[in-house]
Structure 1
């Protein structure tokens, strides 16, 4: 649930009455938690903050934060502890164990599949479907994930330990964990598990590599992003329609894992269509141009993190989709008021499908797609990019005194300092003109061309430094906040923004190399889609395996550039294509 950034709506200090109510709710939700233990977790005399936020799929969630660490989060009126609390009270929830390699899958947004569960000699914990539970890895009792049981313990056994076991809500290393102090899990020996033998020796995972790999493969084959149909409780908007809604959600739960990308886009298209009709369109707006309805209403109803692209649906065109909505669903009536231009002239407001549709709780994405970060929100932070130079074998003699061997990377200022010390140590400053440096055999071999050996006897200081840097291997270092530095050879590729022609001379804007700066192309595409009200597509970059480009309808060079510079704080020198955006041709 928190595998992607969430958006903070408010961050306030809790009132005294709300604190007392929270404590009562926690004691009721967690029977194993005593009043004294709760007082230690939530002291009366320390400020406790209430943070209301929206997850990337639009779910409304509330955090209770003490000393910058989130302790509990509330989802669908149910309280769950974070890993920070479970590290202090590891026995607070029923625990399922898994292998350490599976943790990476869980942190990426996957659920815990039953083939990846390590069953201890004492058996599985007794849980009911939907009950809160924790996940640990073998040999450490400190929980690394929190979720809900997808099925009861008895059903897990009857299923032969196949299928989904725990719908994961929060993990160590996700964005909710990063909201806190980012501390790691403590080492708590798991003395009660079968992973230790009679002598207390730890279970050796290396002896069971085949089993670990098998579980990891099964976990990978069954992994899925958080399944809302599995993890969310049913919300019934109208008692008269309870039966219809329950059957719809059960059907969605059974079919969600089997949907193709085209079916997923069809479902998103229908969702945005119903959302737009229910919350955006008024009777006074009719008749409404279908193109205006798509651009101003449906695009703005697309959930954060998703992209609405009709061409990737089974309908391919808006007119065909609306035709289905008119003939099969009887939701709207579309008419051609002007030749070649269609308009929505009537909406069936009392239609059962429209009445039963629940508008997501996420605030209007059109109103605030790129607002400045509020207090406590985890936002994108640009990397720190530094140009470095690596010592090649040819120039190694000049750097030996400074103990810089081949392959050592240095800043330009460090290179300048080392060369200056070399010149002074070898007394190479020209005795009559201190602006020049006398060339000795080592400098001759390292910096001069063969044709210059007999002619050049001295060099200016600036020429000396520029020749040195020119013969060194240029590198760059990228440091993302909270991560180890990454050093690569060559120049860092700038974000490339260009305009291309597609089809019948239609213009599209293409953005490449976002990954080099830690930018998620899907997030950029979604933000631009809402900002310019135009469709976006993500496509693989030809000739590469793990890089994609973002394509936007129309010439959006300035819009894309301004967003990257102003909102994401990418320096202008690392963005290519802003200076000369193609101008539209004039008709003669």
Structure 2
């Protein structure tokens, strides 16, 4: 169900009454959960979100999300736990065991076929057709898939363990799992010791079962037209082999890791202050300081990760550097945006710090930021339209409700199909469409009710799109597409005057297109040999304004169009560039 990206209809915080109802529904669906476990799953004072989505096949699904991790999904008024919940409570559902290669096929979109099920000595779990159940892997009881039983346990035996066993709805590595923190399944020891020592006879049975499973998958593909992906993550192939090794190394790596990361953090901080930061750069955004200076000072073979330190956040680390070491002074310019406004260059700790030899990271960086730029790929931007309440009756015959997001071509096809199905094409002039009561209510103004009896095809499409909610989709390479309401903000380039009538070029909205303002500023600085400054934008927590000396609109336009390949229609202000080569 979540093999392909889904469309988000709404995302709202849950109300107190709905929270109580959800607890009651979970308790009824999973009676084995005690009151304490239920309170841990659905805490009273922590924010819980209800996210309504449309799966790629059009199914309406409700998600319950806590701390960005989806806990349950509701389909056709039935609750199913996600793998994140099952990793905390592995025995919540009846489970079926299978082999790692079979898990890969399930991640690719296949259901669990009975030949792929490993029958333990205790027998199959007792399930009825349609019961919610989970799928685990041999040697690990942590569930990696959730679905419903295709047949009852008794029917599984009577069928000779052939055919479909579990209709899979959600798996580890699918798009629902990717909505959360993307953690991997924990290692939960298998209680069946007999399953841990697989003998030759078991291997022969599994090989035959897997062959039969392959045949079932092929038959399933022929009947449904679904393509099963066989390139699931290779980590699952070796997961069973690596679990013991990870467990053995985990404790050793955890001990002292925080102290080591704290020392590395301090070293990179002192190195950056002493060799990277200039007084003329102050005030300096703390995020820019970390990204452009501290990371480049990290020694070869090590990775700077603040989350693995005792500070957890950059702001807390800088507070410690300010209060305990008196090295810097940090000021919050706007809510959530902090800058280093002062550095104590005479601090004894800073003066006594010896700058190490040039790191591999520094050696690999190109002065004009080309290395970071080469990683950038422009997003694919798609204009979308959401079905509004006004035009919803027009889309009901296509089983589409308010909030469904469509491309303009899809809207045209649905409207065309509606017109043809209801025989509304004008018999005398086929360029016109007769207005019926539904089209009248959806598309006409009140003043047109008595006068307009037909409209041209183009007018029909234009009116429909004009009454729908505009949206857009950003699809960055290798990332899940993002859908947002409204029109996409263009990169805005403008020229302003500063003291003594000096011109400066201002650039904003770079973040919308996945561009790092600090990298763009550095690149422009070297290209036009002019100073650049990053400034926070009031009221925009996640946006930064790039300011560069002089009227540099032509150079900014060339950079965005030629190097970053941003389409011209998404860049605003290019017409203000100075004519010819004359600078203003």
Q: TM-score range by the shorter chain?
A: 0.3 to 0.5
Structure richer in helix, relative to its length: 2
Quick one: higher RCO (CA 8 Å, sep 6+), 1 or 2? 1
What TM-score do the two structures reach when normalised by structure 1?
A: 0.43
What TM-score do the two structures reach when normalised by structure 2?
A: 0.43
